[in-house]
Amino acid sequence: MKKYVCDPCGWIYDPEVGDPDGGIAPGTAFEDIPDDWVCPLCGVGKDMFSEVEE
């Protein structure tokens, strides 16, 4: 599963970790996160994230 970075603040969504505080369980692919989820650091939506090139 790919990681995604929040363009405005740089927070990285790692699917192995998820976002437990935001209700996203570890192992959840970015594509499977609900559309109303927001960055836990700055509050922007999924459309402001970019795939991390590894």
Q: What is the pLDDT along the chain (54 residues), one digit of tens a residue?
A: 999 999 999 999 999 999 999 999 999 999 999 999 999 999 999 999 999 987
Residues 6 or more apart whose Cβ sits within 8 Å of residue 20: 26
Model pTM score: 0.93
Residues 6 or more apart whose Cβ sits within 8 Å of residue 39: 6, 8, 9, 11, 45, 48, 49
Token representation of residue 46: 């999924």
DSSP 38: B
